[in-house]
């Protein structure tokens, strides 16, 4: 299955404890490591994490710089762990506004983990679903015919998707907010939504399993009827 997570609440977690917002991002990175490992153990096929949206460029420059440093450090420390666990890394989103050092780290992580046969870990950085859809539509404007699969492939090209990920089955959002925030709008057309009250640094394996159990108890009809209704 494909699980996507909007990791919300790092700043509020820190503020509640009288700490700088960067402390919340550091704790959030620890939650990322734990969640990636827990998802792999749960046989999740694809895990997509929303790390930095295009709208986040509006945050204070110091916070943005800290986030980018933290992301680079995460790739440096976690790439080897992903290789050991046969997890492939793919960074999706725009790359034209990222620094050269970070771009090199992204390319190295993707190359180093490309042979993995286990879970696909996608991390969305400078990502906007609306921007991606518009760019894909521009690429498709001269096509005489276009299927949903064709458009999905164009989205993959725009977002630097190295591997087919398919539609999202379960979208999890922490931090008590209930919105998609411009995340995987096309891929989440039929996703089941699970909203978690906890802030992202407090998200753990127990909460992940709770979300998976919630998903397992739902009926996915995709516009049709359930087995009981069709009798």
pLDDT of residue 145: 87
State pTM to two decimals.
0.93
> Is there a contact between 183 and 129 (Cβ–Cβ < 8 Å)?
yes
Out of 10, 43, 56, 182, pick the active-site residue.
Answer: 56
pLDDT of residue 201: 98
Segment 65-111, tens digit of pLDDT: 999 999 999 999 999 999 999 999 999 999 999 999 999 999 999 99
Q: How confident is the model at residue 223 (pLDDT cuts 50, 70, 90)?
A: low
- Here the contacts of 13-20 (C-beta below 8 Å, separation 24 or greater) are 13/199, 13/200, 13/201, 13/202, 16/199
Decide if pLDDT at 230 tops 60. Answer: no
Q: Under CATH, what is the fold of the domain 2-216?
A: Undecaprenyl pyrophosphate synthetase (3.40.1180)
Positive or negative: CA dihedral 164, 168, 174, 178: positive
What pLDDT score was predicted for residue 225?
Answer: 58
For the chain, give the mean pLDDT: 94
Element (H, E) at 14: helix 10-16
Structure tokens at 35: 């969640």
pLDDT value at 64 more than 80: yes
Any catalytic annotation for residue 56?
yes
Residue 150 half-sphere exposure, CB side, CA atoms within 13 Å? Answer: 10
Q: Are 38 and 211 in contact (CB under 8 A)?
A: no
CB count within 10 Å of CB 87 equals 22
Contact in structure between 184 and 48 (CB atoms under 8 Å): yes
Predicted confidence band at 224 (pLDDT cuts at 50, 70, 90)?
low
Residue carrying structure tokens 């180093």 = 112
Spell out the residues 6+ positions from residue 11 whose beta carbon is closer than 8 angstroms to its own.
Answer: 21, 24, 25
> At 227, is the secondary structure helix, strand, or coil?
coil
To the query of whether residue 10 is one of the catalytic residues in this protein, the response is no
């Amino acid at each position: 299955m494909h699980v996507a997570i909007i990791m919300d609440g790092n700043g509020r977690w820190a503020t509640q404890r009288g700490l700088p917002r960067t402390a919340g991002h550091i704790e959030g990175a620890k939650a990322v490591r734990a969640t990636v490992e827990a998802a792999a153990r749960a046989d999740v096929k694809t895990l997509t994490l929303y790390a930095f949206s295009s709208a986040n460029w509006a945050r204070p420059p110091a916070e943005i710089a800290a986030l980018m440093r933290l992301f680079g450090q995460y790739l440096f420390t976690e790439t080897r762990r992903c290789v050991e666990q046969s997890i492939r890394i793919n960074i999706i989103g725009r790359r034209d506004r990222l620094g050269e050092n970070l771009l090199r780290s992204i390319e190295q992580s993707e190359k180093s983990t490309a042979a993995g046969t286990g879970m696909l870990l996608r991390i969305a950085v400078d990502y906007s679903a609306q921007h991606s859809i518009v760019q894909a539509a521009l690429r498709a404007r001269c096509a005489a015919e276009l299927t949903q699969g064709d458009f999905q492939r164009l989205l993959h090209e725009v977002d630097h998707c190295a591997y087919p990920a398919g539609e999202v089955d379960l979208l999890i959002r922490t931090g008590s907010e209930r919105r998609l925030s411009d995340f995987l709008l096309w891929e989440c057309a039929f996703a089941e939504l699970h909203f978690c009250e906890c802030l992202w640094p407090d998200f753990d394996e127990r909460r992940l399993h709770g979300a998976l159990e919630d998903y397992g108890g739902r009926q996915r009809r995709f516009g049709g009827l359930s087995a009981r209704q069709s009798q």
